[in-house]
Amino acid sequence: MEWKDALYDYKMYLKLEKRVSDNTIENYLRDVKKLIVSSELLPLQYQQDDITQFIHSFAASDYSVRSQARVISGLKSFFGYLQLENFREDNPTSLLETPKIGMKLPDVLAEVEIDAMVEAIDVSKPEGHRNRAILETLYGCGLRVSELVGLKLSDLFFDEGFIRVIGKGNKQRLVPISTYTMDLINLYKDSVRCHCSIKEGYEDFVFLNRRGKNLSRVMIFTIVKELSIIAGVKKTISPHTFRHSFATHLLKNGADLRAIQLMLGHESITTTEIYTHVDQEFIRDAIIKFHPRNNE
């Protein structure tokens, strides 16, 4: 089996059977390609010692523990596929141990920091109303950046107070949207978007760039970064920070963890539980305030 055939078949397996997103597929393929450039062996020629040697070499190249874990996971997936399809009888990665990764708590913006970033937007510029609607949608609905740029007019069910979100693996979920955020999206649609020269094929996308196409992920990162600098926010943030802030603020104000899981589109509630560790000061204050032994 040549690498070209193996990678194509593996890609089709991930896309059609596992139904993972294009970004995830590219990440898996990138991990396997790191192995390819390390030797001249073909997929069916690799043995456990070859894989172990590659991992040791990779780890010695000053890659982070998280990067090492990701590559090992990618290789396990690839060789597991070859075994599943009976291309190989064995899996040379079966005994590989994934390095332990310490829990990295996400950065969270305070409400005053989010307000400062929103206020930093110059609404006298054509893109001002759009950028304000973008920030409020990220924070108000807890969207991933890919979900935001893919949001379409046909996904807006404002009469019912929901938006339809296409998440990882093309899985759909309905997320509540506040009247405030709906008003900002409508303001953008009625004052800016309606005057855009929209390119064919992009008529249904909510957020557009000056060329009439949907915004890229990179552009959303740029918008957020520039606004954080103007607002004087000292934290290192990204569009995903608004998603973390959405979940943390909901939990802090008493929302059920299961409800937050559904709104974020997490398959496992274990993923959502990270937010219970974010605001330790809030949890401590709650114990002091409500535990009966502290009220005696």
The yes-or-no answer on residue 144 being catalytic is yes
> Coil, strand, or helix at residue 176?
strand
Q: Which one from 76, 193, 243, 244 is the annotated catalytic residue?
A: 243
pLDDT of residue 103: 56
What pLDDT is stored for residue 287 in this prediction?
Answer: 60
Task: Say which of 152, 168, 189, 225 is annotated catalytic.
Answer: 168
- Name the catalytic one among 144, 193, 244, 249: 144
- Contact assessment for residue 149 and residue 218, using Cβ atoms and an 8 Å cutoff: no
Do residues 288 and 280 make contact, with C-beta atoms less than 8 angstroms apart? no
Q: In sequence order, what are the beta bridge partners of 98?
A: none
Q: What are the phi and psi torsion angles at 272 (to 5°)?
A: -70, -30
pTM of the full predicted structure?
Answer: 0.64
Q: What's the one-letter identity of residue 293?
A: R
Q: Are 246 and 135 in contact (CB under 8 A)?
A: no
Q: How far apart are alpha carbons 241 and 142 in whole angstroms?
A: 9
Is residue 168 annotated as part of the catalytic site, yes or no? yes
What pLDDT, on the 0 to 100 scale, is given for residue 9? Answer: 92
Q: Give me the tens of pLDDT residue by residue for the chain, a chain 296 residues long.
A: 898 999 999 999 998 888 888 888 898 898 899 888 888 899 899 999 888 888 888 777 767 777 888 888 889 999 999 999 999 888 898 887 776 655 566 678 889 999 999 999 999 988 999 999 999 999 999 999 999 999 999 999 999 999 999 887 788 899 999 999 999 999 999 988 988 889 999 999 999 998 999 999 999 999 999 999 999 998 888 899 999 899 888 888 888 888 888 888 887 777 777 676 655 555 555 566 665 655 55
Catalytic residue status for 258 = no
Q: What kind of fold does domain 3-84 have according to CATH? A: DNA polymerase; domain 1 (1.10.150)
Please say if 277 is a catalytic residue: no
The answer to whether residue 70 is catalytic is no
Give the span between the Cα atoms of 208 and 197, in whole angstroms: 10
Helix (H), strand (E) at residue 172: strand 172-176
The residue extents of the domains of the chain are: 3-84, 111-286
CATH class as words, domain 111-286: mainly alpha
Check for a shared fold between 3-84 and 111-286.
Answer: no
In angstroms, the CA 22 to CA 70 distance is 17
275 flagged as catalytic: yes
User: Which of 11, 15, 34, 266 is flagged as catalytic?
Assistant: 266
pLDDT for residue 208: 94
22-36 and 65-84 are packed helices; what angle lies between their axes, rounded to 10 degrees? 90
Q: Where are the alpha helices (DSSP H) in 155-291?
A: 179-191, 217-231, 239-252, 257-264, 269-272, 280-290
What are the φ and ψ backbone dihedral angles of 164, each rounded to 5 degrees? -95, 130
Residue in 75, 69, 13 with CA at minimum distance from that of residue 50: 75
CB 291 within 8 A of CB 285: no
Summarize pLDDT for 108-134 with one digit per residue, the tens.
888 999 999 999 999 998 899 999 999
